[in-house]
Each structure stands twice: as C-alpha cells, then as structure tokens.
C-alpha cells in the first residue's frame, strides 16, 4: 500500500514521521522492556538524565536498571525491580590431594610414643588419598571465612600460620585471621606434629619435605576455593548420634560423649550442592596400629559416599573427640579396646557409609539459614605449661615450636565465627566431651560446631580433675597442662559473652 500525502507542510510531515517512529520502537521493544518506561530494549535507564553505559539517554523515572546483563520484570513501572534475585552470600569449595608418595615411608602418627626407631610405624603405601578440603564463605560487608581441613593426625601452629599467611598474601580482602585450619585426626596419616617419633634420643616424627607439601597444598586449596565462589543458599541441621561412637575411658563414670552432629550445606542457585561441612566428634581410627597404609580412615569413606550420593565437596570437621572417643561400628558392633581385633577396610567403608547416611538424613530435613551475616572473633590465648614431657618435646626436640619450661606460659589461638544462627569455635587440640558440651551451651545459636584440632594441636584438653588421674594417664602425657581446659572455657565465656549482644545470645 502506498500512502500519498498532499498539501502537507514540512512541520506536519515531521510530526507524522516521529509518531510512526515511536510506534515502531514500541513494537520492537515489547519483548524486552527493561523497565525504564521509555520502551527501549537496551539498558538505557540512567540516573538523573545522564547518558548510561549503553549510550542512551534516560527519559526519566529514576535508575531502576541494576544489572546491565539481565532484563527485569517488564512491568513498565519505575520501581527498582531489575535485579538478579541471587543470594548475597557466595560459597566456593575444592579439594587438593596432599597424599605422600607411595615410596616415602614416613613415620605415622596417632598410636603411642616409642623409644626406638625400629618401633616407629612407617607408611608402606596408600589405601586412599589424603585431602586438603577448603570451603570459602563471603557475605557483603562481613569478614570472609575460609575453612580448611586436612586429613592429618594433627598440625601445629607454626605450619598453620604459614598456610594462613600464604592464602592471605594471594587474596585481596582476606586476612590470615579469616582462615581456619583444622585436622581430621586420622591415625593412618603421617606425623604432622612430631611427637610420634623417637623419645630418647629425640627424633621428630615429622618429615619436613612432606610438611612443605602440606603447606603448599593448603594454600592452593584455600585460594582455589575462594576463587570458585558463586551465589549460594545455606541450610543447616543438628541431630544426636550416640550409636556411632563411645568413650573408651575406663574408671571414670563421668566419661561421656558429645553426640551432637551438625551439618551445614551450601547450594547454588539451581539447588545443586556446592559443599557441606559436617561436625561430629570421634577418633578416625577404625584401622588400628597394625595398619601401615595411608588413609583418611572413616573420613575418607564418608567423603566417598557423600560425593557419590549428594555431590559437591564434603568436609568432615572433628568435634569433641578427646580422652578418648572411639568409633563403634553399627554393622557388627566391634568396639576398639574390647579385646577384639581392630577393624578391617570393610569396617572403614561401613562406618563411613553409616555416617554419610546419618548426615544425609539430617540434610533432608535441614532448615534454611536465612540470615547469612558473618561475624568473626580471633584471639591469642595463653596457659601455663604443666606437663614435663610436653616441655621436653618442644623447642625442636620433637616438635618445632617454642614450648616454655614447666610453670611458664605458652600461647596458642582460638577463633569463633558465626554464619547467622550457625556458630563455630576452634579448639587447639582434642577436647574432652565434658568441656565440649559446656562450650556448646554457652555458644548459643540453633546450630553449633566445635572445630577440634583447629589452628593448632596442643594435645588433649581436659578438666583439672581429669589431668593426671589414673584413667587419663596416657592422655595426660599428650596434654600441655591441667589449666588448658579452664583456659578454653574462660576464653569462650569472654568471646561469646562479649559478642553476645551482637550475636543476640547470652553466655551463662
């Protein structure tokens, strides 16, 4: 069809053409209105009349186009509804294999102390890999947190500080104090402390080349997890699982277990798991001292089943395992120390499966963590050394760290942090459940995690009454002193008390 305009003035012609252009633009914009009320499909909503990033001029109504890559609700209102609807929290996770070489023949940690090199347990191969597992959390305007857990019998503050500082050096906005490093305490791993070497003459159980490998792997894991951050939602659950462990102390009717199992799971915006962090207290020692193959013990089996069944990166963080909580197998009921042989590799798998099943049951009923505000409190703590053996083992004889003489004060550190109603606190050793239960009560929050062997290892941490008593003689040998347990309690009383108003909890 041809339209002929006769006798029209140039002004009228211009008005008609302008009207047709407006109609044409409106028609082409109806499939992609970016809610700036000017019917333009591009990101042309700038503030106060300025030209925006796409070179278009705002026609008024205010800046409601908050993400230039995404369109909004197409509702033609001036309300700022052009958002990604993504969670503010970001989570990243990874694992790095830190297994020693098959042929290294390193001294293993966990079982007794020895008086001759011939008696020291050495690795003869690898049954399953050892990992440095990292989960990173970032919430806008809050301190970041990177959790890093090693499948190791223990790691000391001198090495852990290298890891924390190494991660902080590579990541802008992350301080060393934002990194929490812990160990699973598997007894089928190389000695990362030094105390399981030879007592007289002193020979450390550590292999410094392998320690360097651990430090490098830990830094790699922490940095990689941080760089893998993506928008995430959290859910948490807590349950009691007393049937999976028991307290092996004989002669103390008050020896208890802390049966609390807490899990925190992070999912991406599609609902797929990014990571989970599970906390529960038990020695990973289904395999006994007869074993010489490197293994994460039941923690390794737990990873395997969790990875297969829910996906993501799954972390096990040990809870109040001290003095001395051992595994109890649901399938055949073996109890370490009951006169039976130690467990088999089949028992290790069965135990890991049982623990994974218990965790997944909790995840199925987990409640969303709506408030993802992160708060963090870090401090140096001190306590007098009260164990002659610990004082002897330090200062490079067995353990390459400064340990003062008996009666003088030694230092370590503690970190408490929260993600909403999920509260976590590090323990610089193996905490007895008696103290663990009391610490949980003062932490407040709906879900609590005691990160044992966190940021240090100073041995068993027990009450003054337990230290030196007959049922705890072996545990006393591997403890810094009788005042350490009181120090932990006092400091957490101060931490949670001082932070109580901010965290909306009241310490008793």
d(CA 207, CA 214): 11
Residues 104 and 189 sit within 8 Å (Cβ to Cβ): no
Confirm whether 15 is domain-assigned. no
What is the spatial distance between Cα 475 and Cα 321, in angstroms, rounded to a whole number? 12
| Degrees to nearest 5, angle at CA 333 with 328 and 338 | 75
Read off the pLDDT band of 507 (50, 70, 90): very low
Place of tokens 């909004």: 72
57 lies in the same domain as 164: no
Residue 3 placed within a domain: no
Q: Is 213 helix (H, G, I), strand (E, B) or coil?
A: helix
Helices (H) and strands (E) in the chain, counts: 10, 20
Q: Based on the domain organization, do 63 and 197 belong to the same domain?
A: no
114-133: per-residue pLDDT in tens? 888 888 999 999 999 999 99
Average pLDDT of the segment spanning 351-356: 95
The alpha-helical segments, DSSP class H, found in 267-377 are: 298-309, 345-364
Is pLDDT above 90 for 82? no
Alpha carbons 161 and 141: distance in angstroms, whole number: 25
Is residue 254 in a domain? yes
| Length of the chain counted residue by residue | 508
Highest mean pLDDT among 80-94, 179-193, 384-398, 485-499: 179-193
| Structural domains in the chain (count) | 2
Same domain, 61 and 129: no
pLDDT at 60: 42
- For the cut 70, the answer to whether the pLDDT of residue 504 exceeds it is no
Residue 56 has pLDDT above 70, yes or no: no
| DSSP secondary structure letters along 31-56 | TS--SSSS--SSS---GGG-B-TTSP
Lowest-pLDDT choice from 46-55, 132-141, 346-355: 46-55
Non-local CB neighbours of 384 within 8 Å, separated by 6+ positions: 407, 408, 409, 410, 481, 483
Report which listed range, 56-60, 79-83, 479-483, is most confident: 479-483
What pLDDT score does 337 carry?
55
Q: Is the pLDDT assigned to residue 42 strictly greater than 70?
A: no
**What is the three-class DSSP state of 199?**
coil
Dihedral sign for Cα atoms in the order 400, 402, 405, 410: negative
Residue at 71 is within a domain: yes
Assess whether 65 and 210 both reside in one domain: no
Report residue 265: phi and psi, to 5°: -120, 135
Which of 127, 120, 121 has the alpha carbon at shortest distance from 100? 127
Q: Are residues 62 and 139 in the same domain?
A: no
Looking at the predicted structure, is the pLDDT value of residue 8 above 80?
no
Same domain, 218 and 303: yes
Q: How far apart are CA 431 and CA 453, in angstroms?
A: 9
Instruction: State mean pLDDT over 135-160.
Output: 98
As given in the structure block, the two tokens for residue 205 are 């159980």
Mark which of 66, 85, 104 sits at the end of a domain: 85
> Which residues face 19 on adjacent strands?
none
Q: pLDDT band at 243, cuts 50/70/90?
A: confident
pLDDT at 77 over 80: no
Three-state secondary-structure class, residue 354: helix
| Chain mean pLDDT for the chain | 85
Structure tokens at 497: 């008390």
Q: Is residue 25 part of a domain?
A: no
Specify if 44 maps to a domain.
no
Top-confidence residue, 68 or 300: 300
Question: How far apart are the C-alpha atoms of 456 and 221, rounded to whole Å?
Answer: 18
Strands 409-419 and 422-426: antiparallel
Q: 485 CB contacts (<8 Å, ≥6 apart)?
A: 431, 432, 435, 461, 462, 463, 464, 466, 467
Q: What confidence category does residue 176 fall into, taking pLDDT thresholds of 50, 70 and 90?
A: very high
| Tens of pLDDT, residues 178-227 | 999 999 999 999 999 999 999 989 999 999 999 999 999 999 999 999 99
Question: Are 490 and 442 in contact, with CB atoms under 8 Å apart?
Answer: no
Residues 122 and 106 in one domain: yes
Q: Give the separation between CA 457 and CA 211, rounded to whole angstroms.
A: 15
The predicted pLDDT at position 215 comes to 99
Q: Is the pLDDT of residue 31 over 80?
A: no
Task: Give the residue from 85, 109, 143 where a domain finishes.
Answer: 85
Whole-model pTM over 0.85: no
- Last-in-domain residue among 31, 63, 85: 85
Same domain, 313 and 388: yes
pLDDT of residue 40: 45
Q: What is the pLDDT of residue 496?
A: 82
pLDDT of residue 123: 97
Assess whether 116 and 68 both reside in one domain: no
Range of the structural domain that residue 67 is part of: 51-85
Indicate whether 107 and 76 sit together in one domain.
Answer: no
What is the distance of C-alpha 121 from the center of its chain?
A: 30
Quote the percentage of the chain above a pLDDT of 70.
79
**pLDDT, tens digit, 9 for 90 and up, residues 246-275:** 999 999 988 999 999 999 999 999 999 999
- Segments in 242-323 forming alpha helices (H): 298-309
Residue 405 in any domain: the answer is yes
* Residue reference for tokens 């597992």: 133
Predicted local confidence at residue 72, as pLDDT:
46
Which phi and psi (to 5°) does residue 178 adopt? -85, -5
Asked which of 265-269, 430-434, 491-495 is least confident by mean pLDDT, the reply is: 491-495
The Cα-based distances of 338 to 87, 110, 291, 326, 328 in angstroms read 50, 19, 18, 11, 11
As a whole-number percent, the residues of the chain with pLDDT over 90 amount to 72
Confidence class for position 335, pLDDT limits 50, 70, 90: low
Of 150-164, 320-334, 364-378, 467-481, the poorest mean pLDDT is in 320-334
Provide the pLDDT confidence category of residue 85 given band limits of 50, 70 and 90: confident
Pair 78, 125 in one domain: no
CB-CB contact of 266 with 276 (8 Å): yes
Helix axes 345-364, 298-309, angle to 10 degrees: 50
Give the 3-state DSSP-derived string for 66-95, with helices as H, strands as E and coil as C. Answer: CCCCCCCCCCCCCCCCECCCCCCCEEEEEE
Does residue 10 form part of some domain?
no
Burial code (b: 16+ CB inside 10 Å, e: under 16) for 444-481 equals: bbebbbbbbbbbbbbbbbbbeebbebebbeebbbbbbb
Tell me, what's the pLDDT at 25? 41
Higher pLDDT, 402 or 162: 162
What pairs with residue 129 in β-bridges? none
| Domain match, 299 and 407 both | yes
């Amino acid at each position: 069809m041809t339209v002929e305009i006769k006798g029209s003035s140039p002004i009228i012609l211009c008005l008609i053409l302008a009207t047709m252009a407006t109609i044409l633009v409106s028609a082409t914009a109806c499939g992609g209105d970016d809610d700036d009320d000017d019917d333009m499909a591009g990101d042309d909503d700038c503030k106060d009349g300025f030209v925006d990033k796409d070179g278009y001029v705002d026609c008024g109504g205010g800046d409601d186009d908050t993400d230039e890559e995404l369109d909004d609700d197409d509702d033609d209102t001036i309300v700022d509804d052009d958002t990604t609807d993504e969670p503010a929290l970001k989570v990243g996770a990874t694992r790095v294999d830190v297994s020693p070489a098959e042929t290294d023949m390193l001294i293993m940690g966990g079982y007794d102390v020895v008086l001759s090199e011939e008696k020291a347990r050495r690795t003869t191969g690898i049954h399953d890999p050892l990992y440095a597992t990292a989960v990173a959390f970032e919430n806008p305007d809050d301190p970041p947190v990177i959790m890093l857990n090693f499948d190791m019998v223990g790691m000391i503050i001198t090495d852990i500080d290298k890891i924390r500082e190494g991660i902080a050096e590579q990541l802008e906005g992350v301080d060393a104090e934002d990194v929490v490093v812990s160990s699973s305490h598997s007894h089928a791993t190389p000695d990362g402390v030094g105390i399981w070497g030879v007592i007289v003459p002193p020979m450390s159980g550590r292999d410094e080349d392998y320690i360097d490998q651990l430090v490098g792997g830990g830094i790699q894991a922490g940095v990689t997890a941080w760089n893998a951050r993506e928008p995430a939602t959290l859910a948490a659950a807590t349950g009691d699982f007393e049937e999976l462990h028991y307290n092996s102390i004989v002669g103390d009717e008050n020896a208890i277990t802390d049966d609390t199992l807490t899990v925190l799971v992070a999912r991406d915006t599609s609902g797929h798991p990014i990571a989970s962090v599970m906390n529960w207290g038990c020695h990973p020692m289904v395999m006994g001292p007869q074993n010489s193959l490197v293994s994460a013990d039941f923690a390794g089996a737990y990873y395997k089943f969790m990875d297969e069944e829910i996906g993501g990166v799954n972390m096990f963080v040990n809870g109040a395992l001290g003095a001395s909580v051992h595994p109890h197998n649901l399938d055949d009921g073996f109890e370490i120390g009951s006169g039976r042989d130690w467990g088999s590799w089949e028992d290790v798998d069965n135990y890991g499966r049982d623990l994974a099943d218990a965790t997944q049951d909790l995840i199925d009923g987990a409640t969303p963590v709506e408030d993802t505000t992160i708060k963090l409190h870090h401090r140096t703590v001190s306590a007098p050394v009260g164990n002659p053996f610990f004082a002897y083992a330090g200062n490079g004889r067995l353990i390459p760290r400064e340990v003062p003489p008996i009666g003088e004060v030694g230092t370590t550190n503690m970190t408490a942090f929260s993600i909403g109603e999920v509260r976590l606190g590090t323990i610089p050793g193996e905490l007895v459940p008696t103290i663990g239960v009391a610490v949980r009560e003062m932490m407040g929050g709906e879900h609590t995690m005691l990160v044992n062997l966190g940021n240090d290892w100073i041995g068993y941490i027990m009450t003054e009454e337990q230290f030196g008593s007959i049922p705890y003689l072996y545990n006393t040998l591997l403890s810094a002193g009788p005042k350490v347990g009181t120090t932990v309690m006092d400091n957490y009383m101060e931490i949670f008390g001082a932070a109580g108003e901010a965290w909306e909890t009241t310490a008793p």
